[in-house]
Amino acid sequence: MANEAKNFQDLIAHCKEYGFIFQSSELYDGLSAVYDYGQLGAQLKKNLRDAWWKSMTQLHENIVGIDAAIFMHPTVWKASGHVDSFSDPMIDNKDSKKRYRVDHLIEAFAESLNKEAADALITQMDNLLAADDFAGIKKLIEDNKITCTISKTCNWTDVRQFNLMFKTEFGAVASENPEDNMVYLRPETAQGIFVNFLNVQKTGRMKIPFGIAQTGKAFRNEIVARQFIFRMREFEQMEMQYFIRPGSQKQWYEFWKAERKTWLENMGIPTTKLRYHDHVKLAHYADAAVDIEYEFPFGWKELEGIHSRTDFDLSQHAKFSKKKIQYFDNDLNEAGKPYGNYTPFVIETSIGLDRLFLTIISQAYTEETWNKEDGTPDSRVVMRIPPKLAPTKLAILPLLKKDGLPEIARELMNDCKNDFMCFYEEKDAIGKRYRRMDAIGTPYCVTIDHQTKEDQTVTIRHRDTMQQERISITEVKKRVQEGIS
Ligand code: ATP
């Protein structure tokens, strides 16, 4: 097994062992591509969501946040184009009956080629997909003798489209036509923002350019759902739609492209592990689109999308609802420009919270080995999660369960727990407790020992360097606050 793949399997096992992520309904053998976040995972996920929310809403005066419902009027998805075209081209292997997304099938095959051949194949595929040439895609698969991983045969069906939206019934009243009560589980959070554009603009007296941000669950019946929490059927998105004057989309597209990459770097992701990937085939609503990709343990993949969505969504909702959705631009009117009323254009930034989670933990997970002073080998697994994001900030550890040490530790805990997440533990040898804190990414451990009783000092241990220093117990809170801000 390649090193990265082994590390990735180790990371998945680590997430389970320490309570970050569990398979959903594991008791019943699990539900594929659905995951539950455990006690540490939920906290880390919340910290990531909070960091995004703060950067969008608190740090931008002209961006506000909303929380729209998951259920929406079914016509929303006709207007948005999802009913007609939220689908992926699929192909089935006739022998194994296994279904593949054609781009995934071809990309996986390309990984076995040298770089030049792989690039040529991917370019060919992109061009065929851009032209919706499904017969051409099938021929490409056959010409390259791409086989099914299970049956190992090249016996393929035609390429077909498969809609990814989940449907469910709404309300208790039975209808003769089941379609009457049918609603979709939203496949993206964006539409909840578009249909509330006028509500927010008017009640918030927002002036263009302005943004509306939202985080929340989205659902997609993904065909190929693999790679842990990278591709899930139920996941969380963090999206921001930025409403702008028509004609200014290039400028704002470039602005948000740069802004979002910088934000990811501020989350501790190295520049060298991030890159832009321009879309060749544009979605029906976009006039420009780029992915910010991260180098996951299984290769470069999309982490966030920046899309210039034109006025497509607002115009579609105006058309389908038969309501006027426009903005009156007072500034333009005053400047004597020919129009004051227009349908705003939109730049969207859209990141999956679970993918960001996977990025942060892939980046953080480190297996370290070294020789101790006496020459014997030692090792640890440490989650180098940036301190501001770590689920637990401070572990408070009395050296012994007696001699009044737990009482002092509890007092420190009471002093700190209102300000940041603390963890108290008095069981096991101190070295073992440190290792456990390393494994969950706790940036600081404080040990209370007998000397504390004499001079009110404690040992503070730093996760990344494992260095320890003696500081006054009254300084602990400030030190941690500085480290996590
Ligand atoms: P992909 O090409 O990987 O299917 P996409 O282009 O369909 O992604 P978008 O519709 O642009 O993705 O969604 C925005 C973001 O939502 C993505 O960048 C990704 O972070 C996240 N996302 C999309 N689908 C999933 C999924 N099935 N599981 C987890 N996150 C997802």
Q: Which atom of ligand 1 is nearest to the CA of 307?
A: 11
Q: Is the CB of 234 under 6 A from ligand 1?
A: no
At residue 58, does pLDDT exceed 60? yes
pLDDT of residue 335: 64
Structure confidence at residue 13 as a pLDDT band (50, 70, 90): very high
Structure confidence at residue 168 as a pLDDT band (50, 70, 90): very high
Residue 478 vs residues 34, 418, 442: alpha-carbon distances, Å: 40, 13, 16
Worst-scoring range by mean pLDDT, 142-156, 166-180, 197-211?
A: 166-180
At residue 427, does pLDDT exceed 50? yes
What's the distance, CA 219 to chain centroid?
14
- Residue 323 class from Cβ within 10 Å (0-12 exposed, 13-18 middle, 19+ buried)? exposed
Question: Hey, which of 51-65, 74-88, 221-235 has the most confident mean pLDDT?
Answer: 51-65
CA distance 124 to 141: 11
At residue 284, does pLDDT exceed 90? no
Worst-scoring range by mean pLDDT, 170-184, 191-205, 396-410, 459-473?
A: 170-184
At residue 1, does pLDDT exceed 50? no
- Average pLDDT of the residues of the chain: 94
Rounded distance from Cα 409 to ligand 1 centre (Å): 45
pLDDT of residue 312: 96
- Adjacent-strand bridge partners of 244: 345
What are phi and psi for residue 415, nearest 5 degrees? -75, -30
Tens-digit pLDDT profile for residues 219-270: 999 876 778 999 999 999 999 999 999 999 999 999 999 999 999 999 999 9
Q: Is the CB of 239 under 6 A from ligand 1?
A: no
At residue 39, does pLDDT exceed 80? yes
Q: Which atom of ligand 1 is nearest to the CA of 222?
A: 27
Label the pairing between strands 21-23 and 63-65: unpaired
Rounded distance from Cα 352 to ligand 1 centre (Å): 6
At residue 336, does pLDDT exceed 90? no
Rounded distance from Cα 164 to ligand 1 centre (Å): 12
Q: Looking at residues 148-175, what average pLDDT do you find?
A: 89
At residue 272, does pLDDT exceed 70? yes
At residue 414, does pLDDT exceed 90? yes
Structure confidence at residue 333 as a pLDDT band (50, 70, 90): low
CA-based nearest residue to 477, from 434, 413, 430, 424: 413
CA distance 107 to 121: 9
CA-based nearest residue to 243, from 273, 202, 188: 202
- Taking the model in full, what pTM does it have? 0.89
pLDDT of residue 85: 83
Q: Which atom of ligand 1 is nearest to the CA of 350?
A: 14
| DSSP letter for each residue of 380-413 | EEEE---TTT-S--EEEEESSSSTTHHHHHHHHH
pLDDT of residue 283: 79
Percent of the chain with pLDDT over 90: 85
pLDDT of residue 5: 59
Q: Is the CB of 354 under 6 A from ligand 1?
A: yes
Whether 293 and 300 have beta carbons less than 8 Å apart is answered as yes
At residue 172, does pLDDT exceed 80? no
Structure confidence at residue 338 as a pLDDT band (50, 70, 90): low
Tens-digit pLDDT profile for residues 344-398: 999 999 999 999 999 999 999 999 999 999 999 999 999 999 999 999 999 999 9
Which amino acid residue places its CA nearest to atom 11 of ligand 1? Answer: 305
Q: Is the CB of 231 under 6 A from ligand 1?
A: yes
pLDDT of residue 131: 84
pLDDT of residue 7: 85
pLDDT of residue 211: 98
Q: Is the CB of 220 under 6 A from ligand 1?
A: yes
Structure confidence at residue 331 as a pLDDT band (50, 70, 90): confident
pLDDT of residue 87: 85
Structure confidence at residue 132 as a pLDDT band (50, 70, 90): confident
At residue 110, does pLDDT exceed 50? yes
Go through the domains of the chain in sequence order and give each one's CATH number. Answer: 42-74+168-362 (3.30.930.10), 90-163 (3.30.40), 392-484 (3.40.50.800)
Worst-scoring range by mean pLDDT, 111-120, 178-187, 402-411?
A: 178-187
At residue 421, does pLDDT exceed 90? yes
